[in-house]
Structure 1
Amino acid sequence: MSLKVLVVDNHPMILKLLANFLEKEGHEVMTASDGLAALSVLEVYTPDIVFVDLVMPNIGGDKLCRIIRSIPRFADLFIVILSAIAAEDDVDYQKIGANACIAKSSIKAIQKHVLDVIHHLANHSLSSLEPVANLEDVQYRTITRELLSSKNHFEAIINNMSEAVFELTPEGTIIFVNLAALHLCSLTEEKLLATNLVALFAEDDRQNISSLLAHPERLPQLLEDNPPTLFNGKHVSLHFLELRQDDQPTIILIAKDISERHEAEQVLLANETRFRELFNNMSSGVAVYEAKDLDASDFIFVDFNQAAERIEKIRKDQVIGRSLLEVFPGAREFGLLAVLQRVWQTGRPEHHPLSLYTDNRLRGWRENYLYKLPSGEVVAIFEDVTARKQAENNLAIESAMNGAVARISRMIISSDSLKDISSALLEELLVLTGSKHGIIDLVDTKTNKLLAMAFSQKIGELCAVQEENGTFVHSPHGLINWVLENKTSLLSNSPLTDYRVQGNSLGPESPACLLVVPALFNNELLGIIAVADNPRNYEKRNLDTVEQFASLFALAAQKQQAQDHIAHLAHHDPLTGLINRHLFPDRLAQAMILSQRHRKKIALLYVDLDKFKQINDAHGHLAGDAVLKEIAARLQGLLRDSDTVARMGGDEFVVILHDIGSKTAIKNVAKKIIDTIAEPILFHETHLMVMASVGISIYPDDDKQIDSLLQKADRAMYQAKKANTSGYIFYEG
C-alpha cells in the first residue's frame, strides 16, 4: 500500500536517507527542514502520515504538531514524533497531538521502526504500537536531559519577561512568541505561529508595519510616539531589532501594552477646558501668568496652587506678583519662557516636554502643559516627574538588559560557538555597564591558565594576553586572581589601592574602576568576566548585570562541554578510549585518500584475541576489561602517530598502517603486535595471558572498497585462528 509521507527534520542526512528509503519502499515522499517550511508544504500537500523531529529552528516539532491539530482538515492526520530526545520521561507526545513516537538512534533502527509504524497504519493495528519505539537503542539520556534543562531554562527566562517578544522571519512571519505575547494578542500559540505580523494590526497601521519590515536597514527602530493599534484594540509600543545567526537574519520585536497611558493622554486633551475650571482641586501644579509688558519679555505670577507650592518648595505669597525669571532664574534655559511667549502670542496650547530644570535652589524633571485663557492669562499645568524619569531610566536599563539576555539566550539555545557567544556577550556588557574595556575568559583546568574568548585591546595588554597555537591565553594575577581563588564577585572603584590586590595589581596602567565576576555552574568555576573604566564609579546594579551575564556564559560553557563530551562518546570506545567502529570507516577513507595522493599502500590488520573468553569466565569481566585496556595501550604504544588503532567490539581490534613499502614491513609490525600482546598482564597479583591472531589485507592490492577490504582482513584473521598458531596470515584471493 503506497502512502503519502511528509518527513520534517533539520538534519539533512537523516532527511535524505529516510526519504530515499521510503521512496524505495514505494511511498510518495515530501520533505521539510523545519516547522515553518512544513506548514508551507501542508498548504498544497495532504499526506497520510507525518514524521516530525522535535528540536528544529523556525518552529519546533512540538509547536508544529499543535498547529497541525488546530487545522480541521488535519484532525485525523497520523503524526509520528521522530527525535533523539524521545526517551526522556517528560516528553508526552500525545499531549502535543502526536499519535506515535520513535526514538532516534542508528538509521537502520529508525528505518525498521518507521516501516513498523506504516505497517500498523496500513493494517489498522495501531493499538499494538509501542508507546515510544526504539528505546532499547538510545544512549546517554542523562546528558540529553541536562541539555534539555538548559534549553528550558532559557525559554523560562524569555517567558517570564513582562514585554511581549516575537521572533519573525525577514518577511514578517512569526516563528516564536513568549507568554506575554500570547496575553497581549489574546490568542493561542497555534494561532500566532506562522501568522504574518501585519495581520495582527488594525487596517490603518498595516501599511506602516509592512513598510518597516520591507526595509531591514532601518532597524533597530522604536514606534512609540504614535503607537499602532492591534486588531483587539490595544495600543502598543514596538521595538524592532535585527538579529543575525550564521548569516540567517531574523527580526526580534519587543512589544508593550501602553493602552492605559494612551487613553489617559487622549482624555487629558479632550477635557482641557474642564481642568481649567478645576484649578484649585487639581493635584498637579498650576501656575497662572500674565505678560509683564506688550513684548512679553517676562511673565508675572497671578496664581499658584498648593500642588505647585509642594512641587517647587516655595510658598504662594513668595511668588504672587513677582516675575518668572526672578523666582525661577533657570526658566529661560529650561525653555519655559519661550513656550509662554508662543502660547501668549498664538493662543494655541503647547506641551513643554519632559525637561530638566536647575538653578541654585532647585533641580528636577518637569513636564508642562500650557494654554491661554480668554482673559489673556496663560496657565501652566505641570508635574514633578523626577521619580518617573528615574523609573523610566531604570525601565530602559531593564528593557535593554532583557533584550540582551534574550539575544544571548537565543544564541546559546541555537548552539552558536562559545567564541561568538562571548563576543556578543562582551559587546552587550560594555554597553549595559558603560564600560570602555572588558575580557571574558574560560578557565583551562589542565594548565590553570585563562583562555581569552573575547577581550578589548587595553585589557588584553594589561593581562598580557598572548597567542598560543591559535588560542589567546594569559595567567591570572592581581584582583582577577583573587576572584578566581575565592569564587567571589568583586567591585572596586580604586583598583590600585584595593586591599585584595596584595601588592600585585594590573600594573601602572591599571583601570580606574573594575568589576570582576566568576562564571559558576553548580559551584564549578568555568570562567571569569571583567569590565573596566566606567566614566563614573561602578554601582551595585552594574555588578548585578555582570553576574547575570556570567551565569549565561557559564551555561554556554557547560553546554559546550556537554556537546564535546557527547561527540567524543559517539566516536570512541568508552572502555579503551580508542576510536570505535562508527568512526573507523571515516579514518580508513582518509587513509585511502592519502594513499592515492602519495602513491603509497596501506595495510589493514584485523587483530582478534585468543583465549580471551577463558579470562572472562575464570576471573570475571573486570579482569577482561583490564586486559582490553592494557592491549589497547600496548597497541597505541607500538604504532606510529600516523597509524590508527580501533576497537571494533568485543576482543577485536583493527590497525591501519600508513605508507607501507613492502610486505616485510607489515610482517615485522604483525610480529611485534603478536609478541607484545603475548606478554603477561598483571591483574590483582595474577598474571593473565592472551594470544592474538592477525589477518592482513592491503590497499589497493586486495580491494579498493572499505567494507570489502575489512572483510578480507577479517577472513584472513579467521584463517590464522584456525591454523591455531597464534600468528598472522595475509589475505589471498
Structure 2
Amino acid sequence: MDAVDHQSECRKLEQQLRQLQQEKERLLLLEQDVIGYVRSKIDQLLKVMGTLPLRQEELDDATLLALDPIGIIAESFSQVLEHLKETNDDLVVARDELKAIFNATGAAILVVDENLCLHSCNPLAVERFAVDARQAVGMPLAEAIPDCYGLLSRSFLEDLVTCQQGERTIEMCFRDYCYSLVATPVRDSNDHVFFYVLIFSDITERKKTEDSLIEAETRLTEILNTMMAGILIIDPTNHQIVDVNHMAAKMIGDTPDKIIGSICHRYICPSADGQCPLTDLNQVIDNSDRILINRSGEAIPILKTATIIELNGKSYILESFIDIQARKMAEQALRESEQRYRSLYTAMKEGVAIGELYYDEHGVAYDYVLHDVNRAFAQMLGLSEEELINRLATEFYGEVPPNLHILDEVVKYGIPKEYELPLPKLGKVFHVSVSRPEKDRFASIINDVTASKKAQQEIERLAYYDTLTGLPNRVLIKDRLQQAIAQAQRSRALVGVLALDLDHFKKINDSLGIGCGDQVLKVVADRLKGHVRQGDSVARMGGDEFVILITGINAQNDIVTAAGKILDLLAEPVSIDEHELVSTGSLGISMYPTDADDVDLLLKHADTAMYQAKETGRNLYQFYSPDMNARAFERLFLDSDLHRALERDELELYYQPQIDLVAGKVVGAEALLRWNHVNKGQISPVVFIPLAEESDLILDIGNWVMERACLQAKEWYDQGYTELRVAVNLSARQFRSDLPEIVARVLRETKLPPHLLELELTESLLMERPELARTILNKLRDLGNHLSIDDFGTGYSSLSYLKHFPIDRLKIDRSFVKDLTVDPDDAIIVEAIIALAHGLRLNVVAEGVETEEQFEFMRQRGCDEVQGYVVARPMPAAEFGEYLKQSARLPEQHAR
C-alpha cells in the first residue's frame, strides 16, 4: 500500500470515527433526558404518597399507576444503553483498525493537538525522527523534533493553525530522506479542530528519479550545446522550431529564444517558393547539401541530416548540419598544402622515393618499383628522375635489392624503420627512413651521409686522443694499460703507472690566461712524448694531469730512473711569449702486480701517490703505499669538513701584536686564522689553507677573515685604540679585479677607518701579473688602506719592480731572522733589506723574532717594527684586548 492509499484509508476511518463519536454524543444526551424525566416522575410520586393517608390497598394501586410510565421509560432507557454500547463497540473496532493502519503504514505520522503539541506518533515516525514516544507526548513539536520542525516554513505553520481549512502540503528533506508532508485537521461535531494529522510520505526515490531526469536533461542540453554541428528540433505539423542548440543559434546569428517558435524554412533550405521541402515525417535526409539563410540574409552552404525522433510520445524532426563553407576552405587549404608539399618535395635536399613492392603467389616479396622520386634522390644516384620512375630495383642493382627485406617488413607490419644503405659501386652511404603510407606501398626519405660517416670515423678517432696535445686520452690509456697487464702476465714483467700533475699550474692560468696555460701543456706533452721509449705511452687525463705508462721492465729501479728524468725534463724553463716559466711536477707511481692487478686501481693508486708527493713538497716522485689511502681519505674528509666550518662557526681569528721599536708601543696586529675542528681540535692553517685554495672556498674564507678582522679592529677603535692597525693576508685567489670593491664594502659595513686596515700580499702574487697588480693596488691605496709585502726575500725580491707599486712596508721573512745572530749571510741580507727599503721610503717589519738577541739586532739596525714570540704569541681577540690594556708600552728591557 503506497502513501496515497494510506492517506485515503486514514481519511475514511477518521470519517467513521467522527460519525460514531457524534452518535455516541447524541445517545448520551438522550440518556440524560430520560434520567431527568424519570427523576421528575419519582419526585411527584413521593409527594403524593407523602400527603395522602391511603390504605395499603390504595397505596399498592397508586404505586402501580405511578410505575407504569416509569417501566415504559426504563424500557426505553435500557434500549438506549444497549444502542450506546453497540455504538461504543463499533467505535473501539474502528479505533483498533485505525491504530493498526497508523502503526503499519509506510508513511511517518505525527498527531498534534491544536497547540501543535505532540499527541501521538507511529513507529516509522519514531524511527525517522528519533522521537522518544513516551517522553515526547505532550511536548511542543518544536521541542519534540526540533530538527524537523526547523525545516517547516513559518507560513506553512501559520496557515495550518489560523486557516484551519482543508489540507496543507509541503515537500521537505530531512536526514537523508525526502518527504511529501500532508497536514490534515481533525474536527469534532462542532467543527472545531482538536487534532492535526501530519503524514510524511517518503518520496526519496521519486526525488532521485526526478533529479536524475533533470541531470540527464541538463547533460543532454550541454552535449547538444557543445556539439560542433547545429541542431534544430522541428514540429512537422506546423514546421515550428521547438528547440535549438548554441551552434545553430550562432550560425543563424540570433538568440535561441528568438529562433524557437519561428518557422524552420525562414532559416534552413527554403525552396524557390519559400516553403520548406520537409512536408511530412516520411522524408529523411542523410548528408545532403542545403542552404542556411542567416539573420543577415547570407546564404551559407551546409551539409544537413534530418531524422525522426520521439519526444514525450510525439514525433519530431531533428535536423543537424555543419558549415560546408569551412570544409571547403579546408579542402582548398589542403589543395594548397599539397601544392606546397609538391614544391617542397621537388626542392628539398633530402631524397624522397615512393614505391610499391611486388609479391609472388606465395606472398613473398621479390622486387619493387619506384612510382615517384624527387630531384634530390635522382641527383644522389647520378641519374634523372625519368630513369628511376617505374624501373625495377633489380635492374638498378643487378641483383636482389639489399634493402628488400626491410621494405617488406615495413609494408607488412606498418612499423617505420631507419637503416643505412651502402652503395659500394657509387662509393656512397645513404641513411633511409621508410614508412608505409598505404597498402603494399612505401615512402622513403634518403640522406646522403657519406661525408658525415667519414666525419664520424674521424670523431671516433678523436674520441681516443686529446685534442689539445694529441696524446691518448683516458679511454685509450686505460685500454693500453689493460693490454700491458695482459702482456706482463704472460712475460712476468712489471708495469709502471706514473701519474703526473704540474705544480702550481693554476697560477699560470689565473695570472697569464688559459691560452698561455694551453701552450705550457703542449710543451710538456711534446717533452714527454719525445722522452718515453717505443712501446711506452703518455696520456693526458684532463687539465694538467698526465699518465705515463712504462712497460717491459724488470725492476723498480727502472721506474726510478724514468721518474727522475721526467722531473728533470719538467724543470727546464718554458718560454711563452715574453714569459719564461718554470713548471715542475709531482709524480705518483704504482706498480703491477705489486700494488694492484686492476686498471682502475692502478690509476687510483698512482693518483694517491701523486697527491702525497704534492703534500710532501712537490717536484718529486712518490711510490704508492697502502697507508696512503688512509691519508687520502683523511684529506677528503678534511676537505668536506672545511666546507662546513664556516656554517658551524669553527673558524677563529688570533691576533699577534706588532711593536713599533721607535715609539715602544703596540701599533698593529696581524690576524691569523685558526680552525677549531669539532672532533680533531685545532688544525693548523698549513694543513687547511692549501685545501681551501684548491677551490673557491678560499674566497669565502678570505672575505670572512677580512670582515671579522675589521669588526674587531672597529671594536678596539671604539675602546680608544684609534691608531691600532689590523693586518690581513690575501691569497692569490682573492687578488682579483673586484678586490677593491670587496674591501670598500667591508669597510663601509664595519665603519672601520680605512687607514687601520693593512693588506699583506706576497711578491710572487704581484709579479705574476704586474700591470693588473698595479691597478688593484692603486685602487686600494685610494681607499686609504696600508699595503705590505709579506715574506719578503723569498720570491722575486726585485726592488726595481717594487718601486712601481704603492707599497707601505716590507715584512722580512722569518727564514732570514731565524739564524741572523749565527749566520753572517742572513745578517747581511737583513741589513740590506732594511737599508734598501728605507731608501725607497718603505717601513720594515721583521716577523718571527723569537729571541732577545734577534730583537736587539733589529732595533740596532733601524728596523721599524717587530713581530714574534719574543713580544707575544698569537692570541684570541678577548685575550688580545687584555694584552692591549696591560701593554700600553713595551717592557723596560725592550725600550729603545
With normalisation by structure 2, the TM-score equals 0.24
Question: RCO higher in 1 or 2 (8 Å CA, sep ≥ 6)?
Answer: 1
